[in-house]
Amino acid sequence: MASVLVVEDDQFVRSALIRHLSEASHTVRSVGTALEALREVAHFRFDVVILDLGLPDLDGGEALKMLRSITDVPVIIATARDDESEIVRLLNDGADDYLTKPFSVEHLSARMTAVLRRSRAAGAEAPPPGVLRVGGLSIDPLRRTAELDGAGLDLTRREFDLLAFLAGRPGVVVARKELLAEVWQQSYGDDQTIEVHLSWLRRKLGETAARPRYLHTLRGVGVKLQPPPDTPGAAPLAEPSA
């Protein structure tokens, strides 16, 4: 059975979904706004999110992009809109499936089962990774913990995913397009999303873009993570070419 977050502002629809999902032995939490949904996924781990588009505080399409910036939880869009171009856009923006209202509980259950099966199969394909160490950084992908010089780092899910991905390729310049594809699971997107998360990471690592220690940006090329030059055994930084 799954842990489900229902994001729906229509109280009648919301109550019906909660009742039917609970009767199917799922654990259900529910909210009526996009901001509440973001708070929920930041504090709780869900197996799937059912997201309505017509939310009172923020369009569901924008809410989807914000959810994708902090979590890779499967998202099923549930809405009365049926425009094909919008469906394609939402799927490209990170939605895992799309249901047009009205739909039956059986239809929703079948879609949930399929999405969860794909998600769990993808997680089972990769062997458990070992602890990644880059200088004073220690990242444990299995326990999803990170430390800097022995002190724990308080990272959001997406910050952790970004740091772990770069730590798995120390010293390698990773293009922003690859980061979007591998960390955000998007084929295209706004570079500003990456820059914002890099800025948050730098702050937590005690550095800045002007005075980097671990995170180095090569303008127009990408980003790399490498140990500071004062770390024992670290290779010296190459001088930038003229």
pLDDT tens, 2-45?
899 999 999 999 999 999 999 988 999 999 999 999 989 888 88
Using 50, 70 and 90 to split pLDDT, how confident is the model at 130? confident
Once rounded to an integer, what is the mean pLDDT over residues 196-201?
91
CA distance 235 to 77: 48
Residues forming a β-bridge with 29:
5
Exposed/middle/buried for residue 63 (C-beta within 10 Å: 0-12, 13-18, 19+)? buried
Cα angle, residue 165 at apex, residues 150 and 2 outer, rounded to 5°? 95
Sign, Cα dihedral of 147, 185, 69, 228? positive
pLDDT of residue 80: 83
pTM over 0.85: no
End-to-end CA distance of the chain: 59
Q: What's residue 163's pLDDT? A: 94
| pLDDT value for 195 | 87
- Band (pLDDT 50/70/90 cuts) for residue 235 is very low
| Confidence category of residue 196, pLDDT binned at 50, 70, 90 | confident
Neighbours of 102 (CB within 10 A): 8
| pLDDT tops 60 at residue 61 | yes
Rounded CA gap, 172 and 151, in Å?
Answer: 25
- pLDDT higher for 60 or 149? 149
Q: What is the pLDDT of residue 129?
A: 61
Of the given ranges (90-104, 120-134, 185-199), which has the lowest mean pLDDT?
Answer: 120-134
